[in-house]
Each structure stands twice: as C-alpha cells, then as structure tokens.
Amino acid sequence: MSQTAPIAPSEDPKQWVVDFARDFTVETTPGSAAKIPDFREQLRPGTKVAVTFLPGSDFADTIAVCRRLRGEGFEPMPHFAARSIPSRAHLEDWLKALSGEVGITEIVALAGAVDQPVGDFDSSMAMLDTGLFDKYAIRRIGIAGHPEGSPDISDEDIRQALAWKNAFAERTGAELYVVTQFCFEAAPLIAWDRMVQADGNTLPIHIGIPGLATIKTLIGHAKACGIGPSMQFLTRQARNIAKLLTVSTPDKLLLDLARYKVSDPACGIRLAHFYPLGGLRKTAAWTYGVVDGDFTLKPGDKGFTVNREIT
C-alpha cells in the first residue's frame, strides 16, 4: 500500500496530478529517434528531451539527435556517460560542438553501465571535477538517482556519491538535480526520497516514470535495468498470462506521487521524467491527456483513466 496522506475534502486530486505532470521531460535514444520522422508530430514545442549515450554507441549520433531536436523546436539534454568517454579531450570536443552548434545549456551526467572505463573517467564525479561543463556554459546538470539500488554500484557508494554531488553544488553554485531510474510503485520512491532528505540531500528530484507499454515489455526493461521491489507490481499482474500483452499506464503511480508532493512539505520530488519504453507516440499522447486534465479519477483511489483515445 502506498505511503500517502488522506485526501482533504477541500483539495482537488486532479489538479495535483496536472501540476505534477505539467513540466514533464522525456527521453529518447538515437535508435528510437531514427524511427520518428518529425518530433513535432508527437511532442509540443519546447519539451525537454534527454538523448542517451548508450554503451558501444557513437557519441556523434547523440550530437546529431540533439541538433535535430533543436531544429524542430525542442530542448535537447544529451547524456554524458563517463565510462564510455575516451578522454578529457573528447569530452571537451563534444561539449564545444554541443554548446557552439546546438546551444546546449543542460546535460545529464552519468557513470554509464560499462564495467571498465574506456578512457579517463570512472564516474560522473570525475567529469564534474574537470570544470568543463562550466567552461561551456552548461547551466543545469542532471545526475543519476537510484531509488531501488543499482546492480553496478553498492548502496553505500550511491549514498556517498549523492553526498559528494550535494557538496559540489554547494561549493560551485552549479544547478544540479537528481533524475532517477524508472519505478512502478510510489511506496519505494517515497521511502527513498525520505531517506535521502534525512541524509541531507537538497537537490531537486525528477522521478523516472515508465511510459505506456505492454506488461511483457516493461518486465523486459525492468530486468535489464535491475529494477528492485517495485517490479513486484508487474509480476503480480503477469501471473495472469493473458495480461502480458495488456498496455500498462502509470496513472496510479502519478496520483500517489502527486499526493505525496502536496501533502509532505519535505518532499524532494519536483517533476516527472518519462521513459517511453513502448514508444514515444503513445506515452506523449497519454501524458498530454493528463497535462490537459482530460482524465477521470477511478473510484477507491485506484488511479485514473485518460479520456482521449491513445493510438
């Protein structure tokens, strides 16, 4: 059961959800972007779009997608995966291109899921310490959050890294925020948020939300990403084999998180970052239905249904 406060009679749960979803960000890969003829057909102008840099890929592809997104009227946020960067010189060249040619001012700095670094950097902290992001006028930096742990990093190392990044933001004035892996239930996220606030985190948190996809697809992504306790939400549904191809929507998750955000003054969660695991078109159309308030709450605090048709 989600750890949420009771709804006060004078409050409007629909408005909580709208406010929480309004400034959502979304993610794409160069491979997925290649299948989208025009992002303007799926996203509204000015949407912030994170562009991944996956292990073994060419960063030139990330740069190309960022350039395209800027040209189509969006705000690209390239990933910099430390362990996949060959050298400090490469990092500077890429930042120079993105800053000068694309006008990038926001990036996401990650360690990256690579066992052995290919070059100079073994962590996002090593990248931050170069001073290159400041040199190339990067104003905002997303850093990784792990509400359910990580298969690549111990829990203690995760806590120490978050403490280091808080201290880095304080001593440099850098505008850092935490962007998390996707999860499926609010309770583990709320417990984690309370834990990191108690540990001294002051960085705003952008919570990873799984986009619309079949339960089978979500389970595959969750296993690949090492998702923890919240994956039980999926496995409970998957016990009915007929439901494996049912499209799952994160309505209950958004409602619970929105309620938590308005009910707890110490909440560190600020907005939603969507992972369109079943394709951008469906996730974007559904989320705009939420942003527009075009949804109906389900009885018994069980989430909501977006009223428009999602194709």
pLDDT tier at 46 (50, 70, 90 boundaries)? very high
Strand partners, 77: 50
pLDDT tier at 9 (50, 70, 90 boundaries)? very low
Query: Is it the case that residue 296 has pLDDT exceeding 70?
Result: yes
List the one residue out of 137, 83, 86, 130 whose CA is nearest residue 107.
Answer: 137
- Please state the rounded mean pLDDT for residues 127-149: 94
DSSP secondary structure string, 139-189?
-EEEEEE-TT--SSS-HHHHHHHHHHHHHHHHHH--EEEEEEEE-S-HHHH
List the one residue out of 95, 93, 118 whose CA is nearest residue 105.
Answer: 95
> pTM of the predicted model, to two decimals?
0.89
Q: Which of 124-128, 166-170, 237-241, 245-249 has the lowest mean pLDDT?
A: 237-241
Taking each helix axis from N to C terminus, what angle separates 251-263 and 13-21, rounded to the nearest 10 degrees? 100
* Architecture of the CATH domain 13-291: Alpha-Beta Barrel (3.20)
The percent of residues above 90 in pLDDT, for the chain, comes to 76
For the record, the structure tokens of 259 come out as 């309620």
- Please state the rounded mean pLDDT for residues 162-166: 97
- Whose tokens are 């009223």? That residue is 307
Query: Is it the case that residue 268 has pLDDT exceeding 50?
Result: yes
R_g over Cα of the chain: 19
Tens-place pLDDT, residues 200-257: 999 999 999 999 987 676 666 555 555 555 555 555 554 444 454 456 899 999 999 9
Query: Is it the case that residue 28 has pLDDT exceeding 60?
Result: yes
What residues contact residue 136 under an 8 Å CB cut-off, 6+ apart? Answer: 92, 95, 96, 98, 99
Q: Which of 19-33, 46-60, 73-87, 216-230 has the lowest mean pLDDT?
A: 216-230
Which pLDDT score is estimated for 227? 54
Which pLDDT score is estimated for 186? 94
For the chain, which residues make up each domain, given as ranges?
13-291
CA distance 102 to 113: 26
Taking each helix axis from N to C terminus, what angle separates 88-97 and 59-71, rounded to the nearest 10 degrees? 20
Query: Is it the case that residue 105 has pLDDT exceeding 80?
Result: yes
